[in-house]
Amino acid sequence: MNTVRTVKVGGDYHYTIAIGADLLADGARLAHMLRGRHALVVSDGNIAPLYADRVEAALRAARPDLVLQRFVIPPGEQEKTLARFGECLEALASLGATRDATVLALGGGVVGDLAGFAAACWMRGIDCVQLPTSLLAMVDSSVGGKTAVDLPAGKNLVGAFHPPRAVIADTSTLRTLPDRELRAGLAEVVKYGAIFDAHFLHWIEGHAEALLARDEAALAHAIALSCEYKADVVARDPFEHGDRAMLNFGHTFGHAIESEQGYAGTTGEGLNHGEAVAVGMVLAARLATALGMAPTEDADRLQALLQRLGLPTAIPVGLAPESLLARMRLDKKADARGLRFVLWTGAGKACITSGVDEGAVLRV
């Protein structure tokens, strides 16, 4: 029998995250999330051929009166544009979508962000059900209501907070996820253990091989726990005014690496987001040990675990520390008091600090 785990996101914008095998074939569960008769499935060119028929058939069987269409973008971060956003709105128009229509975001973070933003804007906001198919989207981007598209000037510059109606994570879809994307998602899983839960970090150490081998029970456990931590932070701080910034552990360094490489991870030439975060977490942990805030052996453990998961743990060759530092100063998470970091205080613990000494940052 299939076990379905559920994680509740509380607070003012409450919704449920369901995690389990073959959930995309569960028409009753999907249909239950729809308020009206109109639904648009948004997906990308890799995922739609694999899973869109399944979702649509399940929905049609459960709701024969449904007016259902599909909008598919080419895969890749470079498609998260205002132009694609406009096309998505046009698709809602051609569907005849009313205020009770639903957008179903079937895909990774790119699809989730774009579809979520279209849902946030169509008639000033309609329901979006997130159906994440990448590990990264399951443990991070599908939860929390951040939606956006990129501009040539920078990533995620145009967007809205628009919490989903529900998140339904079908773990069976992870079987077709490319290896590199799986490992990128595992970096974010490690992040939750590193900052919130030493016991979870220990569990990941004991299940690294199972996770890499895509053992469904291990993945489901890792996703559920990650979602619990994310849900907890999001419920306390839905608009990222405070606590939610904890989730940026490894991201100040990580974003600097990604932007210095021109987000080349999507073309395979640079690090992708998860890989950059893996390097960023090691650097943040080293910074914490240099400042005397975390034990060196904890930083060593974190680095060893990321290496076992096939993730990079050092700044890519050719990137100058000074230019990374310059990028960090421009990071939107930096504030008037200077560089802002999630400072690690050892396995399972972290805090947010402003005004970190730039000399110490350069040394790590």
Shortest distance, position 176 Cβ to ligand ADP, whole Å: 4
- Active-site option among 38, 70, 165, 255: 255
Shortest distance, position 150 Cβ to ligand ADP, whole Å: 12
Question: How far is residue 325's CA from residue 321's CA, in Å, rounded to a whole number?
Answer: 6
181 is catalytic: no
- Block residue for tokens 């306390």: 236
Residue 352, burial from CB neighbour count under 10 angstroms (0-12, 13-18, 19+):
middle
- Active-site option among 124, 269, 322, 332: 124
183 is catalytic: no
Pairing of strands 102-107, 127-132: parallel
Question: How far is residue 342's CA from residue 336's CA, in Å, rounded to a whole number?
Answer: 16
Shortest distance, position 210 Cβ to ligand ADP, whole Å: 19
**Strand ranges (E), the chain:** 5-9, 15-20, 38-44, 67-73, 102-107, 127-132, 146-151, 154-161, 166-170, 341-344, 350-353
- Active-site option among 38, 146, 183, 191: 146
Shortest distance, position 111 Cβ to ligand ADP, whole Å: 6
202 is catalytic: no
Looking at beta carbons only, is 184 or 231 nearer to ligand ADP?
Answer: 184
Shortest distance, position 92 Cβ to ligand ADP, whole Å: 20
14 is catalytic: no
Q: Are 257 and 316 in contact (CB under 8 A)?
A: yes
255 is catalytic: yes
Shortest distance, position 251 Cβ to ligand ADP, whole Å: 14
| DSSP designation for 178 | -
Looking at beta carbons only, is 140 or 260 nearer to ligand ADP?
Answer: 140
Question: How far is residue 153's CA from residue 156's CA, in Å, rounded to a whole number?
Answer: 10
- Active-site option among 38, 162, 273, 286: 273
Pairing of strands 127-132, 166-170: parallel
80 is catalytic: no
Binding site for ligand ADP (CB under 6 A): 44, 46-47, 50, 75-77, 107-111, 133-134, 136-137, 141, 173, 176-178, 181, 184
The helix/strand/coil state of 47 is coil
60 is catalytic: no
| DSSP designation for 316 | P
From the list 222, 312, 220, the residue with the least C-alpha distance to 261 is: 312
Q: How many helices (H) and strands (E) does the chain have?
A: 13, 11
29 is catalytic: no
- Active-site option among 165, 230, 327, 340: 230
236 is catalytic: no
244 is catalytic: yes
- Block residue for tokens 């990533």: 155
- Active-site option among 70, 84, 162, 244: 244
- Block residue for tokens 């459960």: 62
Q: What residues have CB less than 8 Å from 326, skipping those under 6 apart?
A: none
- Residues with catalytic function: 124, 146, 188, 230, 240, 244, 248, 251, 255, 273
